[in-house]
Structure 1
Amino acid sequence: MSKHDAYAALRYKEFNLFLLVRFAMVFAWSMQFVVIEWEVYSITKDPLSLGIIGLMEVIPAVSLALFAGHIVDQKEKKTLFMRCIMAFSVISFGLFLITWPEFIKDFSTKTILVCIYFLVFLGGIVRAFLGPTIFSLFSLIVPKKVYPNAATWSSSVWQLGVVIGPAVAGFCIHWIGVHWSMILVFGFTVVSLLLLSKIEKKPILNPKIGEPVFKSLKQGIDFVFSNKIILTAISLDMIAVLFGGAVALLPIYAQDILKVGPEGFGILRAAPAVGALLTMFTSAHFPLDKNAGKKLLMAIFGFGCSIIIFGISTSFWLSVFALFMSGLTDGISMIIRQTILQLKTPDDMRGRVASVNSMFVGSSNELGAFESGITAKWMGTVTAVVFGGTMTLLTVIFTGFISPTFRKLDLRKDLQDHQNS
């Protein structure tokens, strides 16, 4: 297989099925989150309510993350993945009901909000298991020699779902309303289950089946915190997402600042993912393993600058461009971080390492939404976004200064070792 084969991972049939499942799930999850954001802000007109959505998901996701990683390392991955999808489909159907005017005609506004927040909370429980399961199943479908290429395609499909999901959500809210938009989400979960059923069950590679939970969890945490490269990569992205979470405030920009309605909201919500998607497809032909540390730092710095520009913009198309650039730079960060994790994590610890990563990075999306909601209420929306972008820039500068080893990180040797194994 050619060293520079941009389609190396796509030559494995099950990986193509895996990509289709991942797209369907990311599309459904992204669309659902956007629809619920729109509905909740339309009901409350309170920035804090957007933060509460994030908080409701992040509490269970963080609380259960390490336990979920232990379970994933102990169990068969395909079966766990199917259970996660089935649980998500139940949540989606619940949101379909709670946004149905006929069903909730006797409900108070408070009751509707409590039901939405509760279902989002249940989604956080599912997400605690979903991330580590996907990460672990990924490594069992393709050989190690194509991990970087597979990570690029997997991230590309993730971004494609994030592009289409919010855009479709914005237009569907306008065309068919919030309620019927949710039935489309439910439909994609059903498609995911059908596709996943065509992937064979995989062996459990953990030699310590039945190991005590707390001992297992401690090993996972110790591994991450003793591996400075993984820890720095995860921490950098966590700070960027935590303080650069401007997308959580997009309903406010769309409705109150830029005044572009649901169609404009869909475009704004999709713009970062369009930029990231461009990065993903480009990087399949131009790998990012050379000077990976320096590229990661530069990408996150560019992300912070884009967030600041978006924050102060009063022009719709300048805002779209700034969000596009934030996605383009975030895409570089994502590919490098995922490659670091795949290359430097032992097979028997993938679930636990992915769980720690989920606690740091995945859940920081929701914590970032909560932080954005709080700061927007205290400082004002524009000031809150500019503050977040500035904190991201300061974090990159600080990390580059105190960690010259990470700044000089190059992944070419790791990649060559896996190709020769």
Structure 2
Amino acid sequence: MTAAPSSGTTGKPTTGSSTTGGSFRSAFRHRAFALFWSARVCAMLAIQMQVVAVGWQMYDLTGSALDLGLVGLSQFLPSLALLLFAGHVVDNHDRKRVLFAALAVECAAVFGLFVATMAGALSPSAIFATVALIGAAKAFEGPANQALLSATVPVEDLPNAIGWQSSAIQVAQISGPALGGLLYIAGPAVVYGVSAAMLLLAVLLILATRPRPVTMVRRAMSWSTLLAGASFIRSRPEILGAISLDLFAVLLGGATALLPIYARDILHVGPWGLGLLRSAPALGALAMAVAITRWGVQRHAGRWMLIAVGGFGLATIVFGLSTDPVLSFVALLAVGATDQVSMFVRQTLIQLATPDDMRGRVGAVTSLFIGASNQLGEFESGAAAAAFGVVPAAVAGGVGAVALAGAWAWVFPALRRIDRLSETR
């Protein structure tokens, strides 16, 4: 496979630390990582709570599956427009300051939802505008998060830090939707108020973080510098295959936008049940993330990723056909667990291969793929449900993900042949 460009942070891990897992202390003994990890938990917790409130409130206001999908599209389009510029900014400015500013904007946006709801003035158009602002901030947050992570730990602890960062996200995605659904009983304003407070705490934690200084080479903005991250990914077929597989699998099989409909009209479980359903994928992913952090993906990483994407599709099909809340919850657990395997392989490949001076731009391209899979996946599911029905849309997406895993095993043999992740640099 093509060797990664040399960098001061892309050397081989020392003995005792590798992509196969590690101890809790190997990353958390570093104060910068502990603060960064805590900020990620708070920010993700807040956003997940806000997502539950926005989804339920929008469906209450309009009763439209298409509008649920448009919420995701409204957040994705600003990210799409700004991501290449955001990557350049991250690689040419203090990454901590960029992340601080992005989280501050998100905090202000969610606080705006709180004020508008309290005043009884929140309309569908106001929701679309606010999530668009959050999407613009996330265009900078994603690359800054990915770039800053590598500066909070030495390279030998980076794979372990990736595992624990994944766990942080899953912890937030488990507790956030459940807490958001519970708080929604008291009204959406309560959810938005608590979410804004959690984002404020994340801002303060990032302010207190002291990452390792990174030497930056200032570059004038040009098409060449803006597209450098995409060029790097294109030069590594195993990374391109992993990122695109994750993109299209979630794009096709991402039925989470339909959860308000399933919760109210098919499973009849209400707002609290919606919160639990939204938490289920994260609970499955957390269990898998802890297992990976402890035991790792030791051999045949590429094959395991392909198998996981196929399992993701099968679990999505089961969820789409289910009318039993318990079975639906179990299917969503499997959705999260299989997706976590795919995410870990992808993120570890990128972090170990990317030079320090390109982390922002590579992170921007990665964030674009992630955003496309999540936000456009929500739009695709909502549009398909409006056109063909909720159940056919969910099942067809799962079938597509299974077919995709088989196709990518043939189109990207470099991905299929990946054995030990540490050998891909």
On whether the aligned pair clears a TM of 0.5, the verdict is yes
Conserved in 1, the CA contact under 8 Å of 2:148 and 2:211? no
The 5 Å alignment of 1:226-237 reads 226-237=235-246
Whole-Å separation in 2 of the counterparts to 1:289 and 1:357: 24
Instruction: Pick from 232, 246, 259 the counterpart of residue 250 of structure 1.
Output: 259
Return the match for 1:200 from 179, 196, 210.
210
How many matched pairs?
A: 407
1:21-44 deviation digits (Å, cap 9, x = unpaired): 000000011111111011000111
Aligned match of 1:172: 183
1:262 aligns with 2:271: yes
Matches within 5 A, 1:377-388: 377-388=386-397
1:357 corresponds in structure 2 to 366
Q: Aligned to 2:102, which of 81, 84, 102?
A: 84
Q: Report the TM-score, using the length of structure 1 for normalisation.
A: 0.94
| Partner Cα separation in structure 1 for residue 201 and residue 221 of structure 2 | 37
Which amino acid is the alignment partner of residue 144 of structure 1? Answer: V
Letter in 1 for 2:59: Y
Q: Aligned partners of 1:240 and 1:79: how far apart in 2?
A: 33
- Give runs of aligned pairs for residues 4-19 of structure 1, distance below 5 A: 5-7=22-24, 8-19=26-37
Q: Is 1:54 equivalent to 2:72 in the alignment?
A: yes
Tell me if the contact between 1:98 and 1:116 (Cα under 8 Å) persists in the aligned partners: no
Q: Cα distance, 1:413 vs. partner?
A: 4.1
The two structures, once aligned, show a CA RMSD in angstroms of: 1.4
Distance in 1 (CA, whole Å) between partners of 2:210 and 2:190 is 34
Classify 1:80/1:412 alpha carbon distance in 2 versus 1 (closer, same or farther; 3 Å).
closer
Deviation at 1:213, TM superposition (A): 3.1
Q: Which residue number corresponds to residue 96 of structure 1?
A: 114
Matched-pair contact (CA < 8 Å) for 1:244–1:307 = yes
Cα distance in 1 for residues equivalent to 2:235 and 2:16: 34
Kindly indicate whether the alpha-carbon contact (under 8 Å) linking 2:79 and 2:138 is maintained by their aligned counterparts in 1. yes
Query: Aligned letter for 1:86?
Result: A
The question of whether the paired residues in 2 share the 8 Å contact of 1:31 and 1:169 is answered with yes
For 2:171, the equivalent position in structure 1 comes to 160
1:184 aligned residue: 194
Deviations 1:283-329 (A, max 9, x none): 11111142110011011110000000000001110000000110111
Residue 11 of structure 2 is aligned to residue 2 of structure 1: no
SS state of the match for residue 64, structure 1?
helix
TM superposition shift of 1:250: 0.2
**Structure 1 CA distance, aligned partners of 2:411 and 2:76?**
30
Greater shift after overlay, 377-386 or 336-345?
336-345
**Cα distance, 1:63 vs structure 2:** 1.1
CA–CA separation in structure 1 for the residues paired with 2:348 and 2:381: 29
Cα separation, partners in 2 of 1:203 and 1:162, compared to 1, 3 Å: same
Equivalence for 1:219: 228
In structure 2, the residue matched to 1:392 is: 401
1:134 positional shift: 0.4
Q: Contact 2:238/2:412 (CA < 8 Å) preserved in 1? A: no
- 2:3 corresponds to: none
- Deviation of 1:236 after TM superposition, in Å, equals 0.3
Paired-residue identity, %: 39
> Matches of 2:29 and 2:190 in 1, distance apart?
38
**Which runs of structure 2 are paired with 1:125-144 in the superposition (5 Å)?**
125-144=136-155
Equivalence for 1:149: 160
- What does residue 336 of structure 1 align with? 345
Task: Give 3-state SS (helix, strand or coil) of 1:140's partner.
Answer: coil
Structure 1's 55 and 294: CA in aligned 2 closer, same or farther, altered over 3 A? same
TM-score (norm 2): 0.93
Which secondary structure state, in structure 1, belongs to the residue aligned with residue 208 of structure 2? Answer: coil
AA paired with 1:151? I
Contact kept in structure 2, 1:67 and 1:213, CA below 8 Å: no
Q: Which runs of no fewer than 5 residues in structure 1 stay unpaired?
A: none
For residue 202 of structure 1, report the CA deviation from its aligned partner: 4.8
Matched, 1:306 2:324: no
State the secondary structure of the residue aligned to 1:211.
coil
Check 1:5–1:51 CA distance in 2 against 1; reply closer, same or farther (3 A cut).
closer
Displacement of 1:199:
1.1
Deviation readout 1:85-130 (Å, 9 max, x if unpaired): 1111110111102222xx13xx5xxx71111110111011001000
Structure 1 stretches of 4+ with a deviation exceeding 4 A read: none
Q: State the distance in 2 between where 1:412 and 1:36 align.
A: 39
Shift of 1:412: 4.5
Residue identity matched to 1:54 = G
Conserved in 2, the CA contact under 8 Å of 1:75 and 1:204? no
Task: Quote the Cα distance in structure 2 between the aligned partners of 1:200 and 1:150.
Answer: 16
Contact between 1:237 and 1:333, CA under 8 Å: does it hold in 2?
A: yes
Contact 2:22/2:295 (CA < 8 Å) preserved in 1?
no
Q: Distance in 1 between matches of 2:354 and 2:196?
A: 34
The residue type equivalent to 1:314 in the other structure is: T
* Distance in 2 (alpha carbons) for counterparts of 1:171 and 1:404: 46
The answer as to whether partners of 2:348 and 2:421 remain within 8 angstroms in 1 is no
Cα distance in 2 for residues equivalent to 1:226 and 1:412 = 17
- Matching of residues 102-117 of structure 1 within 5 Å: 103-104=119-120, 107=121, 112-117=123-128
For the Cα contact (< 8 Å) 2:352–2:422, is it kept in 1? Answer: no
Q: Deviation per CA, 1:371-411, whole angstroms, max 9, x where unpaired? A: 00100000100000001111111110001123322111023
State whether residues 343 and 414 of structure 1, in contact with CA within 8 Å, keep that contact through their aligned partners in structure 2. no
Partner of 2:12: none
